[in-house]
Amino acid sequence: MSIEVQPFGNLSTGEAASLFTLTNKNGLSAKITNYGGILVALSVPDRDGKFADIVLGKDSLDDYASGHPYFGAITGRVAGRISGAQFTLEGKTYPLAANNGPNCLHGGLKGYDQLVWAAETINDHGVNKLRLSITDPDGSNGFPGTVECTVTYALLDDNTLEIAYTASTDKTTPLNLTNHSYFNLKGSGEGDILGHEVQIFADSVASIDANSTLLGRREPVVDGFNDYRDPVVLGSRDLNGNNADIHFFLENARTKLPQVAAIVHEPTSGRTVEVFTTEPGVQFYAGLFLSADAPEIGKDGVIHGAMTGFCLETQDYADSVNCPEMGGAILRPDEPFSSTTLYRFSAK
């Protein structure tokens, strides 16, 4: 696998960002910027060998810095919603920014998606990989503890995009990391995703209220509504927050080696993505609110309407710090964190 680097521009702070292009022996390519660890583009072939970029994104660094719905970004320190925008840990209460109704979403006002990560190319057992790293200081966005975090991207020769995470801390703190890519297997800008066939290997979901606040409960999936254990054509269902913006608990919980979490197939192109992860859950989001407040302009000026991309965000239960019986999204000084997620592509 080769990795090439080029300038991607400068932020208003003067910080420079780079764009890295990872290419495997089959011609697949992934473009990643160290601003937010964003997966900017991912080019994979259809059944006829025709390549297309299948992730939603922006044209430039300025476009990303101006705000976006977490297109392709690493989200943290806590991906997902912390209910009530506060938590109590080891006897101390920590208030957070309520940036999503009453909740703190994706780490607060300046999460990992807005940071410039240090970048280096490493060779891991003969495979070139892009390793990004940050030091997130104690008190950042209201969270305790200084966190050292790395995210490593690789585009393997079996057409797998590998994302590996590590983290350590000097104080106990909530931690829940994921990549927030929006996929459209027909190609970015090629319309809605309602013809995609989705399969998620989960037998229960997290309960939420009308504000998508996590309620600290899990419920069994319901046949014909949010049960995706057998493949479901998205357009065959009435999609809402309880079946298309919801946390699924995977049947095998956290594992040492990546387990299959989901499979999505798009019949017109033949493209399929299989998602494997060591995480115990996955947030499925069908892009219900794209362009909800204003037109969401993507690459090449395309306007992304509702349900033009889907996310499969591998993660733990976001509100574990308030509901420890629901998950383990807590990082402790004596328990370093590591996790791996694989997106494997094929066409038939």
- How far, in whole angstroms, is CA 112 from its chain's centroid? 12
At 309, the amino acid letter reads G
All domains of the chain in start order, with CATH: 2-347 (2.70.98.10)
What pLDDT digit, counting tens, does each position of 281-296 carry?
A: 999 999 999 998 889 9
Ranges under pLDDT 50 in the chain: none
Q: Which residues pair with 53 in a beta bridge?
A: 43
**What is the Cα–Cα distance from 167 to 170, expressed in whole angstroms?**
11
Question: What is the pLDDT at residue 211?
Answer: 87
Question: What is the pLDDT at residue 328?
Answer: 96
Question: What is the pLDDT at residue 332?
Answer: 98
Nearest CA-CA partner of 112 in 212, 22, 179: 179
Question: What is the pLDDT at residue 1?
Answer: 79
Q: Are 337 and 168 a contacting pair, CB within 8 Å? A: yes
**What is the Cα–Cα distance from 287 to 307, expressed in whole angstroms?**
5
Q: Is 304 a catalytic residue?
A: no
**What is the Cα–Cα distance from 266 to 272, expressed in whole angstroms?**
6
**What is the Cα–Cα distance from 97 to 321, expressed in whole angstroms?**
16
At 104, the amino acid letter reads C
Q: Is 313 a catalytic residue?
A: yes
Question: What is the pLDDT at residue 186?
Answer: 98
Phi, psi (rounded to 5 degrees) for 124: -115, 105
Active-site annotation holder among 162, 279, 296, 313:
313
Structure-token pair, residue 196: 């995609």
Counting Cα atoms < 13 Å in the Cβ hemisphere of 216 gives 9
Q: Are 71 and 182 a contacting pair, CB within 8 Å? A: yes
**pTM, full prediction:** 0.97
Active-site annotation holder among 68, 106, 180, 247:
180
Residue 174: CB atoms within 10 A of its CB come to: 26
Question: What is the pLDDT at residue 293?
Answer: 84
